[in-house]
Amino acid sequence: MTDRPDHRITKDGSSTFYSNTYKQYYHNPNGSVSESKHVFFETPGVTDTLASQNELTILEVGFGTGLNFFLLLDYYLSKKCSMPVRYYSIEAFPITQEEASKLNYASFSDFDELRTFSGHIFSHLATGMNTIKPLPDKDIELHLFIGTFDDFSPAGLKADFIFHDAFSPEVNAELWTAGAFQKLKTFSAPDAVLSTYCAASKARAAMAKAGWYLARSRGALGKREMTIASLSDQKLASFKRVNEKRLIERFLSNDFEN
């Protein structure tokens, strides 16, 4: 049993929750919508992929309020996309429909189709995989797994982008281990790009140990850095790289143990 989260408004006016279980906000208190756009859409190149109308498969770790999926739908509509999009996400502790009704994300979109989004998604969830078509006339599918990351094992998933949006490594350690990043590799296309707001060396070392190439980029809303990772080092050509070898050495010598 988890404590219920409290609804809060961040500094850009958009909703978030404060988790009374993890003692952490679901998003950056300086702005959830602004942070999500920067970390998950603009920096890793999802917006460019949408503009080029290429088919897209995304895997998100931590569905939470559904903000990232909501923004994806908003980008899809505003860029007048028509290609297939498959969005996989994992959530062990879903918010309730009543909690979702407090989210104000619809006011950040110009599209009437998204007005009832939050209430709709959270009213129909069952344990296990839920397949939802949020916009009946668009080729977008949400595959939302209600359960833990450990239990997530979809067949044939090869994501182009991974949104790693867990709580921080200090409180949500199981999602930041080398084993977790190894598992994410098995769900990734050969040139997949993983993005996360997190810039902690310990988390980066776990990614490097699992075989991800790493780069740093400017963080959102005054945060110095975020992390971009890929299974293809060419995908990181435009970023400032992180020395994976050095991080692996530190990882193997238990440099990150408390």
Ligand X SMILES: C[S@@+](CC[C@H](N)C(=O)[O-])C[C@H]1O[C@@H](n2cnc3c(N)ncnc32)[C@H](O)[C@@H]1O
Q: Which residues bind ligand X (CB under 6 A)?
A: 26, 62-65, 67-68, 90-93, 148-149, 165-167, 172, 174-175
Alpha-carbon distance of 153 to 171, in angstroms, equals 24
With CA atoms as reference, report the closest residue to 60 among 120, 128, 145. Answer: 145
**Which residue number, 74 or 165, has a Cβ lying nearer to ligand X?**
165
> At its nearest, how many Å lie between ligand X and the CB of residue 67?
3
Return the SS3 of 111: coil
**Which residue number, 150 or 191, has a Cβ lying nearer to ligand X?**
150
Residue nearest to ligand X as judged by C-beta position: 64
**Which residue number, 90 or 114, has a Cβ lying nearer to ligand X?**
90
Counting every residue, how long is the chain? 258
> At its nearest, how many Å lie between ligand X and the CB of residue 133?
20
**Which residue number, 7 or 250, has a Cβ lying nearer to ligand X?**
7
> At its nearest, how many Å lie between ligand X and the CB of residue 95?
8
> At its nearest, how many Å lie between ligand X and the CB of residue 78?
19
Yes or no: say if 85 and 139 are a contact pair by the CB < 8 Å rule. yes
Alpha-carbon distance of 91 to 63, in angstroms, equals 5
Alpha-carbon distance of 37 to 234, in angstroms, equals 23
**Which residue number, 169 or 211, has a Cβ lying nearer to ligand X?**
169
> At its nearest, how many Å lie between ligand X and the CB of residue 93?
4
Partners of residue 141 on adjacent β-strands? 86
Alpha-carbon distance of 177 to 168, in angstroms, equals 12
